[in-house]
Amino acid sequence: RFSGVPEGYGEWSFMVVDAVAPSLDTMRPRNGSSGVASNTDIILRFNEPMLAGRGDIVIQSDAAVNATQMRLSVTGDEVYVIGAVVLIDPIANMNAGQSGRRFAVRMDEGVLTDDAMPPNPFAGLAGSAMWFDVTDTAAPMIEMYSPLRGATDVSATTNVTLVFNEEVMAGRGYITLTP
């Protein structure tokens, strides 16, 4: 009973409104990490339960040549919101190139929100808020041979062409062709 309120005036009810935007507690890979595998999932852990809002999460390389950009809908099959954890699992791997590439994760305000009513938007990620260096950890594979393997009646002056599944560069040593 409150002082000054006569008995019998019924129940008092009120609602507390959550007006505080969610904050990002941890991220994996960590900001500034190096040696990250190209197939790494991105995990964002917030201070409260989250919901998918509207828009895209963008994963972009900073490469001047052959830049990679993945635009993932927050409501699509590559983004999972589970309580306070957001798992980003791109179908395509991040292309590290020959010497590794830096990738940044970006999203606008409101791509993610908390579960309050009304929802409070997460401020988003911009600039250098989340970046990491991806390293190529898989050996290149030959996808096509010309002439075909096992081909017969090939002239000794025919050029040999090997097509790889990624960019390659000359190293040291020899390529030996055997009949």
What pLDDT, in 10s, does the model give residues 116-163? 999 999 999 998 899 999 987 778 889 999 999 888 898 989 999 999
Tell me the pLDDT of the chain averaged across its residues: 89
Q: For residues 110 and 160, what is the distance between their CA atoms, to the nearest angstrom?
A: 54
Question: Do the beta carbons of residue 36 and residue 30 sit within 8 Å?
Answer: no
Among 3-7, 14-18, 23-27, 146-150, name the most confident range: 23-27
Q: What is the pLDDT of residue 178?
A: 76
Q: What is the pLDDT of residue 1?
A: 54
pLDDT exceeds 70 at position 80: yes
- Angle value at C-alpha 27, between 63 and 100, nearest 5 degrees: 25
Q: What is the pLDDT of residue 65?
A: 63
Report which secondary-structure segment, H or E, holds 13: none
Question: Higher confidence at residue 45 or residue 39?
Answer: 45
Question: Higher confidence at residue 178 or residue 152?
Answer: 152
Q: For residues 79 and 16, what is the distance between their CA atoms, to the nearest angstrom?
A: 31
Confidence label for 10 from pLDDT (cuts 50, 70 and 90):
low
pLDDT exceeds 90 at position 54: yes
Q: What is the pLDDT of residue 34?
A: 93
Say which residue the tokens 């009810």 belong to. 13
* Region 50-60 average pLDDT: 97
What long-range pairs does 163-171 form, CB within 8 A, spacing at least 24? Answer: 164/140, 165/140, 165/141, 166/95, 166/97, 166/98, 166/136, 166/140, 167/66, 167/97, 167/98, 168/98, 168/140, 169/98
In this prediction the pTM is: 0.73
